[in-house]
Amino acid sequence: MESRNRIISVPWSPTGAPDDPAAGRGQAGRRDRAAIVSGVFGFARRARWLHFAILGALLFLADAIRTTPEREVISVTREIVDSLARTREELSGVPVSAQERPALVAAFVSDEILLREAYARDLHRQDGVVRKRLLELMRFLLVEEPAEPTRSELDEYLAAHRQVYLAPPSVTLSHVYFASERPQGPPEAERLLARLRAGVDFRSLGDPFWLGHRLDGYGEPQLEQLFGREYARKVLALPLAEWSGPITSTRGVHFVRVDAHRPRELPPLTELDTMLRLDWLAAKREELLQKKVNELRSKYQIEIASGVDR
């Protein structure tokens, strides 16, 4: 019996892919998905740091959600409350009862909240009065009270500042005062002036003046304050021991005799020593303060804009 070989014919494709289009697309899709998955896992294996970055971000987010902001503490101690009670008692003269103490605590807490909020808003930097008060407190805290000056230190200070302590020129004068424009007219004024120069008792003439008929040791500032600038200028230029007038002031009319001129000179030693001591102590405190400020200056970087006087 003759054997026969069955030949099965398969269509040939140049790409080696089946000629069926649907089957080709299915195989290609599976190969693409496999390549994508393999690439992702390969990148993940190579980029291990990414795992830690994502994990850290998640932990930080969870902690931020769970943690509430830390609040500033206001501590009220028994010492503070006792001090508040003593201050209230000193002002009112009435003891603070136990029932009143909670109100003191509540008021203190409210004030402390407002104070800290003011600091947070930099109000202590913006308010001129507060700034001045803080500067005064710092000066007080930084500077110790200097020792009392010796006699030689006061003499040295006086020698260096002598012009400051010289009293201005002054006069001692006698005057006849009229509150109004009396005596009327030049003839009457001339007759009164002639009587004064002839030696009549001037204390019996004119109107009463609240400082009397004689003013002893009045300088230009005092005369100007009492009678006006023009009066002071004229009186200081008058000759000695001679009646002059009438001279008008802001208070009325005067006939004036200068009994003594006193040039610029130092005041009496008792007065001078008091002024010297106070001024020396003030200067010494300022010197000590500047020394402390210079020590603190190293903590700061000072930037002065160009064009600003230095």
pLDDT tens, position by position, 1-41: 444 444 434 444 444 444 555 445 555 555 655 555 465 45
Q: Which residues of 197-234 are buried (b: 16+ CB within 10 A; e: fewer)?
A: eeeeebeebbeebeeebebeebbbeebbeebeeebbeb
pLDDT at residue 149 in the model: 93
- Token pair of 175, please? 């005057």
Residue 256 half-sphere exposure toward CB, CA atoms < 13 A:
26
- Please state, in angstroms and as integers, the Cα–Cα distance from residue 300 to each residue in 76, 124, 286, 295, following that order: 34, 19, 21, 10
Rg (alpha carbons) of the chain, rounded to whole number: 50
Q: What are phi and psi of 159, to 5 degrees?
A: -60, -35
Which regions of the chain are under pLDDT 50?
Answer: 1-18, 22-23, 37, 40
pLDDT at residue 175 in the model: 94
Q: Domain 167-262, what architecture?
A: Roll (3.10)
Residue 126 half-sphere exposure toward CB, CA atoms < 13 A:
6
pLDDT at residue 2 in the model: 45
Sign of CA dihedral 204, 209, 210, 214: negative
**CA-CA distance, 283 to 161, in Å (whole number)?**
12
Q: Are 89 and 56 in contact (CB under 8 A)?
A: no
- Domain layout of the chain by residue ranges: 79-121, 151-163+268-297, 167-262
**CA-CA distance, 87 to 145, in Å (whole number)?**
28
